[in-house]
Amino acid sequence: MSENVQSAPASEKPDAIQEIVEIVKTVVYALLIALVLRVLFFQPFTIPSASMEPNLLEGDYIIVSKYSYGYSRHSIPFSPPLFQGRIMAREPSRGDIVVFKLPRDGRTDYIKRLIGMPGDRIEIRGGQIILNGEPIPREAMSPGIIDTGYGFTREVMRYRETMPDGRTYVTYDLGPDGEMDNKGPFLVPEGHYFFMGDHRDNSLDSRAPAEIGVGYVPADHLVGKAQVILLSWERAASLFKPWTWVTEARPGRFFNILQ
């Protein structure tokens, strides 16, 4: 006795195809919305190094506002050469923490603090910044402790630095005679900016020439302004060890507004 094999009515097949089409459309719309938000408004970044300690730590997950300085081709993923310069350009403020593309390759994301504006003359003497002939005030604080890796720590000098507009932040310095503590003078070209890391002896920045460091950063290389630490984890956290998402979290750094 043979068995009858039942097949789906023909009317059900178009319904299944239509359902697949709707799913694909939903995914495409979601991706387009995410792309628009990423290009026009906010982009997340993870801090990979200690060059911005003590204000940004390795493992911090930050949000950068893309609209703060207007838009360039570097606002778009992969920096396509669609146009030159900046659209809706706004001048950054001295002291901003800025994400920018490394000038020598136009691809690598860097994050540093904006120290020099176009036309500024900058010198570094004994670790202190001299801006247009005037030392930027810095107040010595109690020493800090940094993790040098492999279970070792060392003491580091801390300073509260104050910009001419009154903005203040804390920097690290291992001493007044480091390789980067006596540099310049630098004259920042028009249309460019001068950046430094907050960990002054652990940052390859505008104090080093563009061939090996950062050099002067063109205005169209600015990506956005770092606004907030959204989340943060210790170095031992791993994507493949879900329990470390909790055990290695630094909740005291969650939702910290950056200065």
Question: pTM above the 0.75 mark?
Answer: yes
Which residues are CB-contacts of 1 (< 8 A; sequence separation ≥ 6)?
Answer: none
Reading the block at residue 257, the tokens are 């507004």
49 is catalytic: no
Q: Which of 51, 75, 203, 206 is catalytic?
A: 51
Q: Which of 66, 112, 203, 232 is catalytic?
A: 112
What is the per-residue pLDDT across 183-222, written as a single tens digit (0 to 9) for each?
Answer: 999 999 999 999 999 999 999 999 999 999 999 999 999 9
Q: Are 237 and 244 a contacting pair, CB within 8 Å?
A: yes
What is the per-residue pLDDT across 100-142, written as a single tens digit (0 to 9) for each?
Answer: 999 999 999 999 999 999 999 999 999 999 999 999 999 999 9
Instruction: Using alpha carbons, select from 40, 175, 185 the residue that is nearest to residue 116.
Output: 185
Q: Are 196 and 205 a contacting pair, CB within 8 Å?
A: yes
13 is catalytic: no
